[in-house]
Amino acid sequence: MRVGDAHPTTSEISDALELASIDAAASHLRQGERLIRNVGRAVWCIGSLLFGDQGKSEG
């Protein structure tokens, strides 16, 4: 059984864009670019918290 719809509602998309710090007025290309950058930064920050700055100190 399906729990939810296959496509989120417009309000859910707007809320998600706001939560991800994405400018809804920007072009779809810029929104995608910003989303990729934000996800990459989040992954880097999580890695830094888990493993410290090992890469910088081993240089």
**Structural domain boundaries of the chain?**
10-58
- Mean pLDDT confidence for 3-18: 78
Q: Please compute, for residue 47, the number of CA atoms within 13 A of its CA located in the half-sphere on the CB side.
A: 10
CB 42 within 8 A of CB 32: no
Q: Which residue has the higher pLDDT, 30 or 53?
A: 30
pTM of the predicted model, to two decimals? 0.64
Please determine, for residue 56, whether its predicted confidence score (pLDDT) is greater than 70: no
Rounded Cα gap, residues 14 and 24, in angstroms: 8
Q: pLDDT band for position 11 (50/70/90)?
A: confident
